[in-house]
Structure 1
Amino acid sequence: MATRPVAPKRKVTYRGVQLFWQYVVILVAALIAFFPIYWILISSLLNAHSAADVVPHFWPDWQWSNYTRAWQLEPWIQFFLNSIFIATCTAVLAVLTSLLAGYAFGTMKFPGRNLLFLLVLGLIMIPGEATLIPSYLIVSTLGWIDTYQAQIIPYAVSISGIFLIRQFFLSLPPSLWEAAQLDGCSRFGFLWRVAAPLARPAIAVVALQVFIGSWNAFLWPYLVTSSDAHRPIEVGLQAFMSGEGGTDPTGLAAAAAFTTLPVLLVFLLAQRQFIEGISAGSTKG
């Protein structure tokens, strides 16, 4: 009777062990990143007694009425429309200013270019809180209190956007501009016809960063708005922390859940462009 051949044992290679630990690290990082979202969803479905317990609850009570109560407390449709309008306008203006400034710093040579660029980058070192009072005085003098432009114009320039697009334009070969010159293309013509289409990944990153930042802004809109007609979503959330009975944790969690969903979907749909833009912007320093 013939014996069945024994299959050779597979040797665990160094590459296999390395991949295993890489996946472990990625899994742990994903769990850490997802945990706040999970905690908000769990908290939004707890009852008032469970939410007040010292011992945390990791399983919901399925109190869907928290979402109904949270939705009826504030005019969320108006807040959604305000946030979409403000975030979109801010992102469009930031992309335009970043594109023009990044193009000038990345492709054009003029006296003091490097010094001026360092001064622009130096603005990142100034904390936003330090400019609140001067910015508020300027907005008040212009009569922009409780308006859309007060929430859009101060953030129409993105320093990080200028840096990212400049880095992308530095990676473009000079032969592109030389070929465009031979075809009679001007500086602006080269920007809109050649450079800007090539910089779409970097532009997508700037637009996404500014849109999410504007959507999540709270302190500045809270200072310059006084009516629901111009308030964004994040300011509307503070209603759950200023009631007569104190903070409503379950209502706040429910409102945070359905107000975070749109921006989360935007990021998931644009994550490919975000990764490509970051990679393209870091190819040349």
Structure 2
Amino acid sequence: MKRLTKRIKRLDLIASLFDLAYVILGIALITHFFIILVEPVVITDVVNTTYNVLGFTLTSAQLNAGISLLVGYLVVFVPLAVSNLKRVNSKDIIEMDAWTYRTQFLYLFMSLFTFNPFSAVLRYLAAVEIIQTVEGYGIKQATINFGHSIADLFNGKTLQKARVRKQKRLEESDSQRDLEQVGKRDLIIKILGMVATYTFLTVVALFIFIPFYWMILTALKTNQELTTALNPRMFIGISEMQWVNFKIALTRFNFWQYIGNTLFVGIVSMIGTVTTTILAAFAFSRIDFKGRDFIFSILLMTMMIPGELYTITNYITVRNLGWYDSFFALIFPFMTSVFYIFFLRQSFKQIPDTLYRAALVDGCSDFKYLRRVMIPIAKPTITTITILSAIGAWDAYIWPQLVAPSEKNWLISVALRSTSFVVGTGSDARPVYNIQLAATALVTVPLLIVFFSLKKYIIAGVGRSGTKG
């Protein structure tokens, strides 16, 4: 193993910045394309027109194909560009080996595939530098060695070497052969176990992925196809994808008002939940008061009661308080969570009592100890609670629909199943499924981004709460 040099780090960083610049350019292009998309007068119709894009005349099908390619590019290369920047800035990666320059060559081909010659050249220079540092020779000798390997494969030398190895194994003692057979058997069992595991995980992943795929596919179809086709298609061409459906979902309905309501309710209820959870968890884990364990046991018992049973009593309470059809009814009932209190209490219980006693001896108040000691130590668990609380508020449907019937108070989850994405009135009313699912996708994608971006904090918080000592 050799240490990474400053020149290699610099080349890798500049190449990653070029990758990021291409991603930003792709986002700018796709934003421009969405802006110039022409919406139909009737949302169930399809627009066939021409567009002037950067001096080129494109049809609707060609523009849809271009947007499809850009979306595919961003889905693949945005995470890659971000991970490259994280890898370059990481202080843990200080060494390199033969696989390091092979990885650079892989990035090189990906840069060429995305028409990024600047990054490709920098990746090539970094790979050459790594080869010279690790192997002691340049790219010319590496190419010659690779050519010799290919030539040996065709002229029989590789096969001859394999026969020599086989002959050596035959000359081994019985004990050595037995050990080798045991090793092979263990390897076969391990491989079969991995195949079974990954097959099962793949099947489960397909069950999770197919509904999401069907949502995106339906959102990109025309309303005519959805209402007339007897056999729905599982695949459509990139030029047939109706990206204007997403623009209609954003502009024709009060989408941003619903999003604003959801963000307001989610942020306020999240702040309230985190605050009450921290204070209650601290009280149940550190403050010694009469009946503490009994009260906590009563709270835990309430977790055994289905939440739906509280709906009627909560509804009556909200009505009596005069909060019906207001944001108060959406926020205050969910500013506490017994599960989150239990979750954080377990994390607080892991902090040694000696720290608390030492702080009391030094004249530190309970609140100061909570703020300066316990919250920083339990930060992963608190982060997990914050994320899960925000996601829960974003996904809420039954309660918001019950206590906030006015459209001005609708959350996005309620609006998706309401008359917002319906054409016609009375008995002629029918949902426009492609627009409805386009709006659903716009609501779902941010949750996926948040989850995959912050999943390590969720896992860290869950792992910490389940650890003893």
What TM-score, normalized to structure 2? Answer: 0.56
Residues 131-167 of structure 1: CA deviation (Å, up to 9, x unaligned): 2232222222322223222111000001110111011
Matched, 1:121 2:300: yes
1:55 pairs with one of 221, 225, 231: 231
1:179 pairs with one of 358, 361, 364: 358
Q: How far did residue 186 of structure 1 move?
A: 2.1
CA distance in 2, matches of 1:266, 1:82: 19
Report if aligned partners of 1:99, 1:165 keep a CA contact under 8 Å in 2: yes
SS in 2 for 1:126: coil
Q: How far did residue 241 of structure 1 move?
A: 5.8
CA distance in 1, matches of 2:392, 2:356: 34
Matched, 1:260 2:435: no
SS in 1 for 2:408: coil
For 2:264, give the aligned amino acid: F
Deviates more, 1:46-55 or 1:133-142: 46-55
Q: Tell me what 1:24 maps to.
A: 199
Residues 216-267 of structure 1: CA deviation (Å, up to 9, x unaligned): 1112212222433322111111223685332322121111011122222222
Report if aligned partners of 1:74, 1:236 keep a CA contact under 8 Å in 2: no
Structure 1 stretches of 4+ moved >4 Å: 7-10
Report if aligned partners of 1:105, 1:166 keep a CA contact under 8 Å in 2: yes
Q: How far did residue 122 of structure 1 move?
A: 2.0
Report if aligned partners of 2:323, 2:329 keep a CA contact under 8 Å in 1: yes
Q: What are the within-5 Å matches in structure 2 for residues 213-224 of structure 1? A: 213-224=392-403
Report if aligned partners of 1:50, 1:57 keep a CA contact under 8 Å in 2: no
Report if aligned partners of 2:250, 2:256 keep a CA contact under 8 Å in 1: no
Q: How far did residue 189 of structure 1 move?
A: 1.7
1:4 pairs with one of 160, 184, 195: 160
CA distance in 2, matches of 1:109, 1:276: 29
Which structure has the higher relative contact order (CA within 8 Å, separation 6+)? 1
CA distance in 2, matches of 1:122, 1:49: 53
Question: Bigger radius of gyration, 1 or 2?
Answer: 2
For 1:79, give the aligned amino acid: Y
Change (3 A) 1:183 1:26: farther
Q: Tell me what 2:316 maps to.
A: 137
CA distance in 1, matches of 2:422, 2:294: 46
Matched, 1:37 2:212: yes
Q: What are the within-5 Å matches in structure 2 for residues 54-133 of structure 1? A: 54-60=230-236, 61-133=240-312
SS in 1 for 2:431: coil
2:346 pairs with one of 146, 167, 178: 167
Report if aligned partners of 1:170, 1:284 keep a CA contact under 8 Å in 2: no
Q: How far did residue 106 of structure 1 move?
A: 2.0
Matched, 1:146 2:325: yes
Identity %: 33
1:249 pairs with one of 433, 445, 456: 433
Change (3 A) 1:21 1:78: same
CA distance in 1, matches of 2:235, 2:415: 28
Q: How far did residue 110 of structure 1 move?
A: 3.0
CA distance in 2, matches of 1:46, 1:73: 18
Change (3 A) 1:241 1:220: farther
Residues 80-129 of structure 1: CA deviation (Å, up to 9, x unaligned): 11111110111111111111111222223333222211211222233333
Report if aligned partners of 2:383, 2:457 keep a CA contact under 8 Å in 1: yes
Matched, 1:202 2:381: yes
Q: How many residues align?
A: 284
Matched, 1:230 2:393: no
Change (3 A) 1:242 1:96: farther
For 2:317, give the aligned amino acid: I
SS in 2 for 1:270: helix
Change (3 A) 1:125 1:72: same
Report if aligned partners of 1:158, 1:210 keep a CA contact under 8 Å in 2: no
Q: Tell me what 2:145 maps to.
A: none
SS in 1 for 2:235: coil
CA distance in 2, matches of 1:54, 1:273: 46
For 1:169, give the aligned amino acid: F
Deviates more, 1:237-246 or 1:266-275: 237-246
Residues 16-71 of structure 1: CA deviation (Å, up to 9, x unaligned): 43334333333333332222221110111122343244534311441223223333
